[in-house]
Structure 1
């Protein structure tokens, strides 16, 4: 519930710019007007506390606040807006840092910098998803994290076998020991000529892996059920028409993108995903480097893997890929194919039309 503001209009018509350096135990807060720094202070990490201070000491003003995206998520931003304070969130990578700020970094300096950037209209804010979308996004990300944890257990067992010179029998294929099939796990639990101590360690890893496999299966079922709901069913079916994109990949993209119409150009979507190379240009020399660190790694991995499938199933992409590898290696070529795939994903969702094989858009 918004606080009752003080009746005095001493700051009526003025805009206050509030930079927040957010931490778990406290917030560093800098409050700037159009011409002056009014106050820099530390406060409890609670929007209600800061709002009460602002309404009491600077009544009637137009309040604008900003903080960097991080562990605290978007909860504080939503709460500020409910209290009547226009709040935004900025990607830390979009906040420029001078050498002096690097060697003399303090919370107060960071909060002042954010407030100045907000006042100078230099803030490039991130999209704030609604609560339902963010919760769906958490479910999809949970599956990716569980999959990573399970892979770690498998790697640990393989490393242990190598450490003690235990070879995997030739009867097991690579896919069997990578996916931990039933027969492979039975062998792992009763490896011949292995000491009781080592077998116990291996069994402990297997027990953890079994739990993770069950959790992964449960979360996968929940995501598939979510894909059939009204919010996702139509768009999920459209994305399933694209070669290489199944239900799990489609759901990852849908919860990550949110409303696709917020990306006005293809470059905006590619930058958001992180399928853009770093660039160095000086004089006549231009060097394109590795992919930028922007975007979520899980989404990037899924799109690149989908692109490898698409170049085998779509003749138009196959021809383009074959042309690209004449002048660059396959790993660089697949990134360009991924950009084509992102363009097609955007086209399918915006125009609500199924994917057309053999057509370059």
Structure 2
């Protein structure tokens, strides 16, 4: 009699609903459905449980991207597990799951989708690129705080009935305007101190923005020199936008097509079709919101300096202004994608 031996290893699928205080996990093998348990929020605690109850299984696990980042994913992979970090919007939810949402149900849905092979993981940057992205986002947070303080200062002047000289009233605060603000005096010392603290807060944040910007540009020029200067060759792409592309989008060569890159940035329409009626509803809400806003600013600058973009913009005049701007932004994005893939600096030319 011929003896047979099973060489296929059993598979274990784990859906993890991660939180700060605890994890809710649901397990299932390739043959049967498992159970739901609660574990400490620790990858090693989960590994200990799996080694005890499912030793010898081939592990496949997933969790939704969010506040916990990618550190757990990297630990799971170091255990030899197959790990995915998924976009929460990619997890199929039945109608009743929209009205009954618990951590246990979320973990079960993740496990079921993973077992059925319907989940696709998002791009996970390496540690160096992830921490560089944190620095870029820190600069963006500081810039938002700076704009907030500037608005508060101007509203304070409006409240007190103090008119700003027209020559100094600009979005960018010049040294003359800042000196004019510091020379202001009020009837009572209480208001002097109040206004002084606002200006001190602005000076502190302004120095932080400049310091972080210098560090960011210096790091990108040193470690991503080729891509940085390729991006800077494009009209409209300044130092901060170039750093943002490197930090947020990573290596543009990883995108297999321009459509994939445009989808990631969010420069594609949101469409709805029913029968023969096709309706568009602006840009898709699924996007890298930070980079999309930077891209719009870069597009306006490109229209100022690039004759090719100006000709393309004028060829669509008469249409909705926002739609034209999106078209120009997509064209700018496609050119940046091309120069990175071909590693050829951008050449400004005129369409004949």
Partner of 2:133: 137
1: CA distance, partners of 2:192 / 2:277: 58
Say whether 1:330 aligns with 2:326: no
Q: Which residue of the partner structure matches residue 44 of structure 2?
A: 48
1:7 is matched with: none
1:11 Cα deviation from its structure 2 partner: 11
- The Cα of 1:192 is off from its aligned counterpart by 4.4
Give runs of aligned pairs for residues 1-361 of structure 1, distance below 5 A. 13-174=9-170, 178-229=171-222, 231-326=223-318, 328-358=319-349
Q: Distance in 2 between matches of 1:156 and 1:149?
A: 11
For residues 183-232 of structure 1, what are the alpha-carbon distances to aligned partners after superposition, in whole Å with 9 as ceiling and x for unaligned? 32233234344543333222222111111111111111101211221x30
Q: Deviations over 1:73-120 (max 9, x none)?
A: 000000111111111101112223333212211000000101111111
Secondary structure of the 2:26 match is strand
Give the SS at the match of 2:24.
strand
Distance 1:297 1:212 in 2: 23
In the alignment, structure 2 segments of 5+ residues that lack a partner are: 1-5
Q: Say if 1:359 and 1:36 are closer, same or farther in 2 by CA, change over 3 A.
A: farther
Aligned-residue offset at 1:302: 1.5
Q: What does residue 6 of structure 1 align with? A: none
Q: Contact conserved, 1:12 with 1:60, CA < 8 A, in 2?
A: no
CA 308–170 in structure 1, closer or farther in 2 if over 3 Å, else same: closer
CA RMSD for the aligned pairs?
Answer: 2.0
User: What TM-score does the superposition give when structure 2 sets the normalisation length?
Assistant: 0.93
Contact kept in structure 1, 2:84 and 2:120, CA below 8 Å: no
SS of residue matched to 1:228: helix
Q: What number of residue pairs does the alignment pair up?
A: 347
With 104-113 and 158-167 compared, the bigger mean Cα shift is at 158-167
CA contact (8 A) 2:86 2:119 kept: yes
Asked if structure 1 preserves the Cα contact closer than 8 Å seen for 2:61 and 2:82, the reply is: yes
**Separation in 2, partners of 1:56, 1:11:** 22
Once the 2 structures are TM-superposed, how far is the Cα of residue 298 of structure 1 from its aligned partner? 2.4
Alpha-carbon distance in 2 for matches of 1:187, 1:165: 16
8 A contact 1:227–1:247 mirrored in 2? no
Secondary structure of 1:324's aligned partner = coil
Which SS does the other structure have where 1:51 is aligned?
helix
Distance in structure 1 (CA, Å) of the matches to 2:69 and 2:241: 24
1:274·1:294 contact (CA, 8 Å) conserved in 2? Answer: yes
Contact map agreement 2:93 2:109 (CA 8 A) in 1: no
Per-residue CA shift, 1:302-340, capped at 9, x if unaligned?
A: 1111111222322222122112222x2222211111111
Unaligned runs of 5+ in 1: 1-9
Task: Give me the TM-score of the superposition, normalised by structure 1.
Answer: 0.91
How far apart, in 2, do the equivalents of 1:294 and 1:210 lie?
36
Which region of structure 1 is more displaced relative to structure 2, 260-269 or 309-318? 309-318
Task: Identify which range, 246-255 or 72-81, moves more after superposition.
Answer: 246-255
Distance 1:130 1:11 in 2: 34
